[in-house]
Amino acid sequence: MTKVVLIDDHQVILYSLSLLFKSMENVEVIGVLNDSRKLKAFLETETVDIIVSDLHMPHLSGIDLTLMLRKDFPNLKILLLTMAEDAYHIREALRAGVHGYVLKRATKEELEKAVEKIMTGKKYYSEAVIDELAASPDDDFNNSKPETIEHLTTRELEILKLVTMEYSTSEIAEKLFISVATVETHRGNLMKKLEVKSAIGMAKFALKHGLVD
């Protein structure tokens, strides 16, 4: 029997998912948590095979959770079950080292298959996930959609944040003790890198990636 712990911040979903997993052969739900921060304490007392977790959660996201677990519990398998279908989140998850990435719009059968496959030591990703990755390839292969946060320099990130916080170019220059011209250069470079045509595009990028709220 595969020992499973479920994590989702939405109680109804959590409960429903537990019913679904309980209806699976060879699966035993030994815990359901509505807060990812509770997991570490849980793991102190229980032996778990696989964690099935949401990605977007308050306090500790599925990705941060994964990073934490991979260090402290290297044998633990992590399956993210999320509605995030964008290449950015997918890559983040892969980078963090998840064992599976399944979309909430998958079927029960697919989810079951994912758990099985992961327990045999393999990895599982929904087909749409692979398609999304293929459609927006990393720049190792292709220069199209730079998952650009990594391609931004620290200074650029700093300015991007300030722009998004509605500071004007001159205000940013003052704040950072650099000239207006320099800020303008950074803004221009940012817009090129992000492939947007105005500060609004920058702001949208920053918000989407959680750089600013």
List residues near DNA by CB under 7 A: 153-156, 168-170, 176, 178-182, 184-188, 191, 197-199
Exactly one of 104, 117, 145, 161 binds a second copy (CB under 8 A); that residue is 104
Structure-block tokens of residue 52? 């099935």
How many angstroms separate the Cα of 94 from the Cα of each of 80, 88, 98, 99, 108? 10, 10, 6, 8, 22
User: Does 95 participate in binding a second copy (rule CB under 8 A)?
Assistant: no
CB-wise, 10 or 95, nearer to a second copy?
Answer: 10
Q: Does 25 bind a second copy (CB under 8 A)?
A: no
**For 53, how many CA atoms within 13 A lie in the half-sphere containing its CB?**
27
How big is the site for a second copy, counted in residues (CB under 8 A)?
35
CA 196, 202, 206, 207 torsion-angle sign? negative
The CA distance from 22 to 25, in Å, is 8
187 contact choice in DNA, a second copy, none (CB below 5 to 8 Å, kind-dependent): DNA
Distance CA 55, CA 63 (A): 7
Structure tokens at 202: 């920058």
Binding-site partner at residue 1 among a second copy, DNA, none, CB < 5 to 8 Å by type:
none
Q: How many angstroms separate the CA atoms of 154 and 160, rounded?
A: 10
Question: Is residue 15 a contact residue for a second copy (CB under 8 A)?
Answer: yes
Q: Which does 104 bind (CB under 5 to 8 A by kind): DNA, a second copy, none?
A: a second copy
Q: Output 142 or 170, the one with its CB closest to DNA.
A: 170
Residues 6+ apart with CB under 8 A from 19: none
26 binds, among DNA, a second copy, none (CB under 5 to 8 A by kind): none
Type of residue found at 173: A
| Residue 106 binds to a second copy (criterion: CB under 8 A) | yes
Q: Is 34 in the site for a second copy (CB under 8 A)?
A: yes
Residue 6: phi, psi to the nearest 5?
-105, 140
The site partner of 17 among a second copy, DNA, none (C-beta below 5 to 8 Å per kind) is a second copy
Query: Which one of DNA, a second copy, none is in contact with 103 (Cβ closer than 5 to 8 A by kind)?
Result: a second copy
- Rounded to whole angstroms, the Cα distance separating 191 from 23 reads 50
The footprint of a second copy (CB under 8 A) covers 9-13, 15-17, 19-20, 23, 34, 81, 83, 102-108, 111, 163-164, 166, 168, 196-201, 203-204, 207
